[in-house]
Structure 1
Protein backbone atom coordinates (compact mmCIF):
# COMPACT_ATOMS: atom_id res chain seq x y z
CA UNK A 1 0.00 0.00 0.00
CA UNK A 2 2.83 2.42 0.76
CA UNK A 3 5.03 1.51 -2.21
CA UNK A 4 4.64 2.75 -5.76
CA UNK A 5 3.11 -0.64 -6.58
CA UNK A 6 0.54 -0.14 -3.84
CA UNK A 7 -0.67 3.29 -4.91
CA UNK A 8 2.15 5.46 -3.50
CA UNK A 9 0.17 6.24 -0.37
CA UNK A 10 3.29 7.21 1.58
CA UNK A 11 4.33 9.73 -1.08
CA UNK A 12 0.78 11.15 -1.16
CA UNK A 13 0.83 11.56 2.62
CA UNK A 14 4.18 13.36 2.42
CA UNK A 15 2.79 15.67 -0.28
CA UNK A 16 -0.20 16.42 1.94
CA UNK A 17 2.02 17.15 4.95
CA UNK A 18 4.08 19.63 2.93
CA UNK A 19 1.04 21.13 1.20
CA UNK A 20 -0.49 21.85 4.61
CA UNK A 21 2.71 23.43 5.95
CA UNK A 22 2.23 27.17 6.28
CA UNK A 23 5.79 28.27 5.58
CA UNK A 24 7.57 30.25 2.87
CA UNK A 25 10.46 27.78 2.60
CA UNK A 26 13.19 30.11 3.81
CA UNK A 27 15.33 29.04 6.75
CA UNK A 28 15.51 25.77 8.64
CA UNK A 29 13.08 22.88 8.74
CA UNK A 30 13.20 19.82 11.01
CA UNK A 31 11.72 16.45 10.11
CA UNK A 32 11.07 14.67 13.41
CA UNK A 33 11.37 10.92 13.00
CA UNK A 34 12.77 10.95 9.48
CA UNK A 35 13.35 7.19 9.13
CA UNK A 36 15.19 6.70 5.84
CA UNK A 37 14.49 10.34 4.90
CA UNK A 38 11.70 10.36 2.27
CA UNK A 39 9.87 13.33 3.82
CA UNK A 40 13.13 15.18 4.58
CA UNK A 41 14.23 14.79 0.98
CA UNK A 42 10.86 15.77 -0.43
CA UNK A 43 10.94 18.90 1.75
CA UNK A 44 14.46 19.78 0.61
CA UNK A 45 13.38 19.41 -3.02
CA UNK A 46 10.24 21.51 -2.54
CA UNK A 47 11.94 24.25 -0.50
CA UNK A 48 15.14 24.91 -2.42
CA UNK A 49 16.21 27.76 -0.12
CA UNK A 50 15.81 25.74 3.07
CA UNK A 51 18.17 23.63 5.10
CA UNK A 52 16.51 20.45 6.37
CA UNK A 53 17.53 18.49 9.44
CA UNK A 54 16.18 14.98 9.77
CA UNK A 55 16.25 13.43 13.23
CA UNK A 56 15.45 9.91 14.31
CA UNK A 57 16.48 7.65 17.16
CA UNK A 58 17.38 4.66 14.97
CA UNK A 59 18.53 2.65 18.01
CA UNK A 60 21.41 0.26 17.36
CA UNK A 61 21.03 0.78 13.62
CA UNK A 62 22.31 4.38 13.83
CA UNK A 63 25.37 4.03 11.58
CA UNK A 64 23.51 2.01 8.96
CA UNK A 65 20.49 4.32 9.01
CA UNK A 66 22.62 7.47 8.75
CA UNK A 67 24.39 6.05 5.70
CA UNK A 68 21.04 5.16 4.09
CA UNK A 69 19.70 8.68 4.67
CA UNK A 70 22.86 10.30 3.31
CA UNK A 71 22.84 7.99 0.28
CA UNK A 72 19.18 8.78 -0.42
CA UNK A 73 19.80 12.53 -0.13
CA UNK A 74 22.75 12.25 -2.53
CA UNK A 75 20.71 10.24 -5.06
CA UNK A 76 18.06 12.99 -4.98
CA UNK A 77 20.65 15.78 -5.27
CA UNK A 78 19.91 17.53 -1.96
CA UNK A 79 22.85 16.32 0.13
CA UNK A 80 24.25 19.85 0.45
CA UNK A 81 21.07 21.16 2.13
CA UNK A 82 20.18 18.29 4.41
CA UNK A 83 21.72 16.83 7.56
CA UNK A 84 20.76 13.93 9.78
CA UNK A 85 21.16 13.58 13.50
CA UNK A 86 20.36 10.90 16.06
CA UNK A 87 17.90 12.29 18.61
CA UNK A 88 14.69 11.43 20.40
CA UNK A 89 11.52 13.26 19.42
CA UNK A 90 10.86 13.76 23.13
CA UNK A 91 14.18 15.50 23.82
CA UNK A 92 15.30 17.54 20.82
CA UNK A 93 18.89 18.80 21.18
CA UNK A 94 18.17 22.24 19.76
CA UNK A 95 17.40 25.62 21.30
CA UNK A 96 13.81 26.86 21.20
CA UNK A 97 12.99 28.63 17.94
CA UNK A 98 16.06 27.18 16.20
CA UNK A 99 13.87 25.93 13.36
CA UNK A 100 11.46 27.92 11.24
CA UNK A 101 9.21 24.95 10.50
CA UNK A 102 8.70 21.37 11.61
CA UNK A 103 7.17 18.29 10.01
CA UNK A 104 6.64 14.75 11.19
CA UNK A 105 4.78 11.75 9.90
CA UNK A 106 3.70 8.56 11.66
CA UNK A 107 6.27 8.99 14.43
CA UNK A 108 4.92 9.89 17.82
CA UNK A 109 3.44 6.48 18.58
CA UNK A 110 6.96 5.07 18.13
CA UNK A 111 8.59 7.27 20.79
CA UNK A 112 9.64 4.82 23.49
CA UNK A 113 11.08 7.15 26.12
CA UNK A 114 7.83 9.01 26.91
CA UNK A 115 4.69 7.23 28.11
CA UNK A 116 2.25 10.08 27.49
CA UNK A 117 2.67 10.94 23.82
CA UNK A 118 1.05 14.35 24.41
CA UNK A 119 4.24 15.29 26.26
CA UNK A 120 6.21 14.66 23.07
CA UNK A 121 4.10 17.07 21.09
Structure 2
Protein backbone atom coordinates (compact mmCIF):
# COMPACT_ATOMS: atom_id res chain seq x y z
CA UNK A 1 0.00 0.00 0.00
CA UNK A 2 2.73 2.53 0.96
CA UNK A 3 5.49 1.15 -1.26
CA UNK A 4 7.39 4.00 -2.88
CA UNK A 5 5.47 6.82 -1.19
CA UNK A 6 8.51 9.14 -0.91
CA UNK A 7 9.73 8.28 -4.40
CA UNK A 8 6.30 8.97 -5.86
CA UNK A 9 6.01 12.21 -3.86
CA UNK A 10 9.36 13.35 -5.22
CA UNK A 11 8.40 12.39 -8.79
CA UNK A 12 5.18 14.42 -8.53
CA UNK A 13 7.25 17.54 -7.81
CA UNK A 14 9.60 17.15 -10.75
CA UNK A 15 9.42 19.42 -13.76
CA UNK A 16 12.20 17.44 -15.46
CA UNK A 17 14.48 14.49 -14.74
CA UNK A 18 13.72 11.38 -12.73
CA UNK A 19 13.27 10.39 -9.14
CA UNK A 20 15.48 7.38 -8.39
CA UNK A 21 14.47 4.90 -5.71
CA UNK A 22 17.13 2.63 -4.26
CA UNK A 23 16.33 -0.35 -2.07
CA UNK A 24 17.50 -3.86 -1.24
CA UNK A 25 13.86 -5.04 -0.83
CA UNK A 26 14.04 -6.83 2.51
CA UNK A 27 10.68 -8.46 3.17
CA UNK A 28 11.37 -8.53 6.92
CA UNK A 29 11.19 -4.73 6.95
CA UNK A 30 8.00 -4.36 4.94
CA UNK A 31 5.84 -7.22 3.73
CA UNK A 32 4.93 -7.00 0.05
CA UNK A 33 7.64 -4.43 -0.58
CA UNK A 34 9.30 -4.70 -3.97
CA UNK A 35 9.93 -2.95 -7.26
CA UNK A 36 6.68 -4.11 -8.84
CA UNK A 37 4.61 -2.75 -5.96
CA UNK A 38 6.39 0.60 -6.30
CA UNK A 39 5.86 0.66 -10.09
CA UNK A 40 2.18 -0.19 -9.62
CA UNK A 41 1.71 2.68 -7.16
CA UNK A 42 3.64 5.05 -9.45
CA UNK A 43 1.39 4.02 -12.34
CA UNK A 44 -1.72 4.72 -10.25
CA UNK A 45 -0.32 8.16 -9.36
CA UNK A 46 0.57 8.93 -12.99
CA UNK A 47 4.33 9.26 -12.43
CA UNK A 48 5.68 5.92 -13.66
CA UNK A 49 7.62 7.63 -16.47
CA UNK A 50 9.33 9.91 -13.92
CA UNK A 51 10.79 7.20 -11.68
CA UNK A 52 13.72 4.82 -11.88
CA UNK A 53 14.08 1.92 -9.46
CA UNK A 54 17.45 0.44 -8.55
CA UNK A 55 18.19 -2.59 -6.43
CA UNK A 56 21.44 -1.54 -4.81
CA UNK A 57 23.31 -1.15 -1.56
CA UNK A 58 23.73 2.46 -0.40
CA UNK A 59 27.41 1.78 0.23
CA UNK A 60 28.02 1.25 -3.48
CA UNK A 61 25.54 3.13 -5.64
CA UNK A 62 25.52 2.50 -9.39
CA UNK A 63 25.33 6.25 -10.05
CA UNK A 64 27.81 8.72 -11.54
CA UNK A 65 29.60 11.20 -9.26
CA UNK A 66 27.72 14.48 -8.78
CA UNK A 67 24.66 13.31 -10.74
CA UNK A 68 21.84 13.77 -8.20
CA UNK A 69 20.13 17.00 -7.14
CA UNK A 70 18.45 15.78 -3.94
CA UNK A 71 18.92 12.75 -1.69
CA UNK A 72 16.14 11.68 0.66
CA UNK A 73 16.64 8.75 3.01
CA UNK A 74 13.86 7.70 5.36
CA UNK A 75 14.45 5.08 8.06
CA UNK A 76 17.21 3.33 6.12
CA UNK A 77 20.69 4.13 7.38
CA UNK A 78 20.18 2.80 10.93
CA UNK A 79 19.72 -0.68 9.39
CA UNK A 80 23.33 -0.76 8.16
CA UNK A 81 25.45 -2.66 10.66
CA UNK A 82 28.62 -1.04 11.96
CA UNK A 83 29.58 2.61 12.32
CA UNK A 84 32.20 2.46 9.55
CA UNK A 85 29.70 0.93 7.13
CA UNK A 86 27.12 3.64 7.93
CA UNK A 87 29.81 6.30 7.38
CA UNK A 88 30.61 4.64 4.05
CA UNK A 89 26.94 4.87 3.05
CA UNK A 90 26.75 8.57 3.95
CA UNK A 91 29.95 9.28 1.98
CA UNK A 92 28.43 7.46 -0.99
CA UNK A 93 25.32 9.64 -0.82
CA UNK A 94 27.55 12.73 -0.78
CA UNK A 95 29.54 11.38 -3.75
CA UNK A 96 26.50 11.20 -6.01
CA UNK A 97 25.14 14.59 -4.91
CA UNK A 98 25.77 17.57 -7.17
CA UNK A 99 27.36 20.75 -5.84
CA UNK A 100 24.47 22.78 -4.46
CA UNK A 101 22.49 19.58 -3.97
CA UNK A 102 20.54 18.87 -0.82
CA UNK A 103 20.36 15.84 1.42
CA UNK A 104 17.67 14.91 3.96
CA UNK A 105 18.24 11.93 6.24
CA UNK A 106 15.33 10.99 8.51
CA UNK A 107 15.98 8.22 11.00
CA UNK A 108 15.22 6.78 14.42
CA UNK A 109 18.81 6.66 15.57
CA UNK A 110 22.44 7.41 14.83
CA UNK A 111 21.59 10.80 13.34
CA UNK A 112 24.49 12.35 15.24
CA UNK A 113 26.79 10.01 13.29
CA UNK A 114 25.18 11.06 10.02
CA UNK A 115 25.54 14.74 10.88
CA UNK A 116 29.21 14.32 11.80
CA UNK A 117 29.97 12.43 8.60
CA UNK A 118 28.24 15.01 6.39
CA UNK A 119 30.25 17.73 8.09
CA UNK A 120 33.45 15.69 7.72
CA UNK A 121 32.67 15.55 3.99
CA UNK A 122 32.58 19.36 3.91
CA UNK A 123 28.82 19.76 3.82
CA UNK A 124 26.87 22.42 5.66
CA UNK A 125 24.52 20.32 7.79
CA UNK A 126 22.22 20.46 10.79
CA UNK A 127 20.13 18.05 12.85
CA UNK A 128 16.59 18.63 14.10
CA UNK A 129 15.15 17.95 17.49
CA UNK A 130 12.92 14.93 17.90
CA UNK A 131 9.77 14.65 15.79
CA UNK A 132 7.00 12.61 17.36
CA UNK A 133 4.73 12.27 14.30
CA UNK A 134 5.79 8.64 13.99
CA UNK A 135 6.87 6.03 16.52
CA UNK A 136 9.58 5.70 17.43
CA UNK A 137 10.40 9.41 17.21
CA UNK A 138 12.81 10.55 14.49
CA UNK A 139 15.34 13.27 13.85
CA UNK A 140 16.07 14.82 10.48
CA UNK A 141 19.56 15.68 9.28
CA UNK A 142 19.64 18.23 6.46
CA UNK A 143 22.61 19.31 4.44
CA UNK A 144 23.78 21.25 1.39
CA UNK A 145 26.78 20.28 -0.69
CA UNK A 146 28.54 23.59 -1.16
CA UNK A 147 31.92 22.42 -2.39
CA UNK A 148 33.37 19.01 -1.78
TM range (shorter): 0.5 to 0.7
**SS of 2:15 mapped into structure 1:** coil
Gaps in structure 2 of 5+ consecutive residues:
91-148
Structure 1 distance, partners of 2:6, 2:17, is 14
More strand by share: 2
Higher relative contact order (CA 8 A, sep 6+): 1
Residues 1:45 and 2:12 aligned together: yes
Show the counterpart of 1:85.
54
Q: Normalization by structure 1: what TM-score?
A: 0.61
Which of 65, 70, 81 is matched with 1:96 structurally?
Answer: 65
Gaps in structure 1 of 5+ consecutive residues:
1-34
Structure 1 distance, partners of 2:19, 2:25, is 18
Which of 13, 17, 22 is matched with 1:55 structurally?
Answer: 22
Bigger radius of gyration among the two: 2
Q: Normalization by structure 2: what TM-score?
A: 0.50
Which of 30, 33, 39 is matched with 1:70 structurally?
Answer: 39
Deviation by residue 1:43-67 (Cα, 9 ceiling, x = unmatched):
1112232311101011479x96011
Structure 2 distance, partners of 1:39, 1:60, is 18
Residues 1:110 and 2:76 aligned together: no
Give aligned pairs, total. 84
**SS of 1:118 mapped into structure 2:** helix
1:75 to partner: Cα distance: 0.6
Structure 1 distance, partners of 2:5, 2:79, is 17
Shift in alpha-carbon separation, 1:108–1:64, aligned structure 2, 3 A: closer
